[in-house]
Amino acid sequence: MKRAILTRLVVVLLVAILLVFTTILYVYRSYAIRDAKERALSIAELVRDTLTSYMVMGVIDKRDEFLSRIGEIRGVEDIRVIRGEPVIRQFGEGLKYELAKDEIERRVLKEGKTIDVLEEGLSQVYYRIVIPYRAEPIKGVNCLQCHVARPGETLGAISLVVNLSHVRSEIAKASFLAMSLFVFALFMVILYVYNFLGRLQKFFKELILVMNSAKEGIFENHLQSNPGFEAQELKTVVEQSFSSLSKTFENIEEKVRAMMGYGVLKTGNALSDTSKIVDELLKIYRFKRVIEKDKNKRDIYARLINMLEDYMSIDSFSLYEVNHTKNQIEIIHVKGKENWCKEIICQSADECRAKRTGMDVDSREFPCICPNFIDNEACLSGRLHYYCIPLYVGGAVGNVLQIVYEPEIEPFINLIIPYIKAYLNESAPVLEARTYMDILREQSLKDQLTGLYNRRFLEDVIDKLTAQVRRRGTILGVLMVDIDYFKQVNDAYGHDVGDRVLVETAKVILRTIRESDIVVRYGGEEFLVLLVDAQPGKSEEVGEKIRSAVEKHTIELPGVVLKKTVSIGVSEYPIDSDKIWQCIKYADVALYKAKEAGRNRVVRFKAEFWQREEY
């Protein structure tokens, strides 16, 4: 750029020099010609007037001396007095040099008009002028008194040749001096422009780099070069603008950190980072608005899983929920493998490092930082990394998200973790609200003393449960369990001991049946046991196990040890009836048969126990 500008500038200046030089020469030449012409006219008039005076005074013989002295004037190369026709007729031709010698002089004598000619050669310059004398009064002297001629007739002419070579030499010297000064000034201008363009070119190259960096979102580069006072204001404006933009983006980052609770990973491109942050915050806001309208935690978990799989494109992860009541961890979702953690964390929540410490667990910090990761060998060899994020719900760790990834995608994981945390943090208050709702619902569906489900729960789920049994083609075992002689315990030891007996009996029943089976506190000392997907005829066997377990169980109290028995009535749905409530009634009828038969026994319902036609 500098070379192109400098070349154009030199061309323009050279053209300007040529124009100036030509103008100077033209002006000097015009001035010299005008001056020479004026001098020639003055000399011609002087000669004419002097010769006229000589004739009047009768001393015309001094003419040659006078003309010789005129010829000594600097620049006068030749001066002659030429006789015209009237003078030749009156006085003769005179000397040879007094006759017209060329066409110019003859034309002047004939036409009576002045003719001047500039003759320029390589070494000499001459200015020639031929001025006519006409027969007419001049300054009070009447030529017709001495000459026989008609008024206005040309009497003769003066031919004067002036040598202007010295003038041209002076013009050349003056032009050379002017040109030298101009060239010197031009050189100084070019030198200044060269230095200025050098600084400016360096400044603009640096400015282009800075602007390209700004286009990539980097505003930390500064202009180091000094462009001079001519562009200092531009440099100041650019630096102030970039500084303002940098502070603005830093301010946005600080506000995002305050909003999200932690900073986001920078890529170095402030524009891209800010745009992505704003987009993600908008998506997170929309995500929260959606989950706030979800009915239960299951729907919220489904949206989190969808976000991780489809939006974040995470191929391997686990989502867990902490059950603080049982101090256990429940698996919500696992992707990429059957399990990413050992089974022990499900049995004891404190075995999960993220849950126990309440802090992020990053396998890159220390090899095998969590001993319960399923494949610590792969972690040690560097083939796998994992990152566990605890999510606080209601002041305690309520969920744990575990991300498993290969080293190749580590930069991507580093980039998305802050946004995943933002999604989790926005989910936390909604999960907390749904957890409280579940707790309240569970409390309303459970017996506060034994922790078993109550009759309200039974009424809510019984229709769904029987529909599932019919769809699978299995049976539902119905056991009605009653503690024998329970009233005597209350009467003899008080209600506190009676409550203890109820609690211990409930625990024995729960230990005896499967986790899929359901136990309901049906009445004061009555328990309803529903055996889901039981085999035909097996319900009575389960009832016997319960009876035997209760009989063997001892209840240690201060100062006394109690042993209790239970009576159990058994029916099976839909074998005994296609109406579940009728089957429950049948089990109750069988229970009373067991009581009548002496208690501490299991009685299977029989058709003859029921004498009515309908329930």
Q: Are strands 328-335 and 317-323 parallel, antiparallel or unpaired?
A: antiparallel
Per-residue H/E/C for 76-122:
EEEEEEEECHHHHHHHCCCCHHHCCCCHHHHHHHHHCCCEEEEEECC
- Token pair of 403 as six digits: 């991300």
- Token pair of 314 as six digits: 């995470």
507 and 550 Cβ atoms separated by less than 8 Å = no
480 and 587 Cβ atoms separated by less than 8 Å = yes
597 and 603 Cβ atoms separated by less than 8 Å = yes
pLDDT at residue 321, rounded to an integer: 94
What is residue 150's three-state secondary structure? coil
**Single-letter amino acid code for the residue at 528:** L
Instruction: Classify residue 404 by burial, with Cβ atoms within 10 Å: 0-12, 13-18, 19+.
Output: buried
| pLDDT band at residue 615 under the 50/70/90 scheme | very low
- Cα–Cα distance, 387 to 353 (Å, whole number): 11
401 and 335 Cβ atoms separated by less than 8 Å = no
pLDDT at 214 over 90: no
DSSP bridge pairs for 138: 141
| pLDDT band at residue 508 under the 50/70/90 scheme | very high
Average pLDDT value for residue range 20-46: 74
For 298, the enclosing helix (H) or strand (E) is: helix 297-306
Identify which has the larger pLDDT, 81 or 55: 81
Q: In this structure, what are the phi and psi dihedrals at residue 55, rounded to the nearest 5 degrees?
A: -65, -40
456 and 528 Cβ atoms separated by less than 8 Å = no
| pLDDT band at residue 224 under the 50/70/90 scheme | low
- Token pair of 7 as six digits: 């070349």
Per-residue H/E/C for 360-412:
CEECCCCCCCCCCECCHHHHHCCCCEEEEEEEEECCEEEEEEEEEECHHHHHH
Of 609, 614, 611, the closest CA to residue 587 belongs to 609
pLDDT at residue 485, rounded to an integer: 93
- Token pair of 320 as six digits: 């867990």
Name the residue ranges covered by the structural domains of the chain: 29-163, 271-445, 455-609
What is residue 561's three-state secondary structure? strand
328 and 308 Cβ atoms separated by less than 8 Å = no
Domain 271-445: assigned CATH number: 3.30.450.40
Provide long-range contacts, Cβ within 8 A and 24+ apart, for 250-255: 252/277, 253/277
Separation of first and last alpha carbons in the chain: 104
| pLDDT band at residue 342 under the 50/70/90 scheme | very high
**CATH: 3.10.180.10, 3.40.50.300, 3.30.450.20, 3.30.470.10. Which one for 29-163?**
3.30.450.20
- Token pair of 604 as six digits: 């299977």
Cα dihedral 415, 420, 426, 429, rounded to 10, equals: -140
- Cα–Cα distance, 590 to 479 (Å, whole number): 9
pLDDT at 223 over 70: no
For 465-493, what is each residue's pLDDT tens digit? 999 899 888 999 999 999 999 999 999 88
* Same fold yes or no, 29-163 and 455-609: no
- Is the full-model pTM beyond 0.85? no
Angle at 68 between CA 31 and CA 89, to 5 degrees: 100
The winner for highest mean pLDDT among 189-193, 315-319, 444-448, 606-610 is 315-319
Instruction: Classify residue 295 by burial, with Cβ atoms within 10 Å: 0-12, 13-18, 19+.
Output: exposed
Contacts of 465 (CB under 8 A, 6+ apart): 476, 518, 530, 532
- Cα–Cα distance, 332 to 319 (Å, whole number): 5
pLDDT at 326 over 70: yes
Largest Cα–Cα separation, the chain: 196
Per-residue H/E/C for 156-210:
EEEEEEEECHHHHHHHHHHHHHHHHHHHHHHHHHHHHHHHHHHHHHHHHHHHHHH
| pLDDT band at residue 142 under the 50/70/90 scheme | low
- Cα–Cα distance, 421 to 194 (Å, whole number): 58
For 544-594, what is each residue's pLDDT tens digit? 999 999 999 999 888 888 999 999 999 999 999 999 999 999 999 999 999
Average pLDDT value for residue range 390-399: 90
pLDDT at residue 583, rounded to an integer: 94
Identify which has the larger pLDDT, 407 or 39: 407
Please determine, looking at this structure, whether the domain spanning 455-609 carries the CATH number 3.40.50.2300.
Answer: no
What is residue 492's three-state secondary structure? helix
Average pLDDT value for residue range 403-423: 91
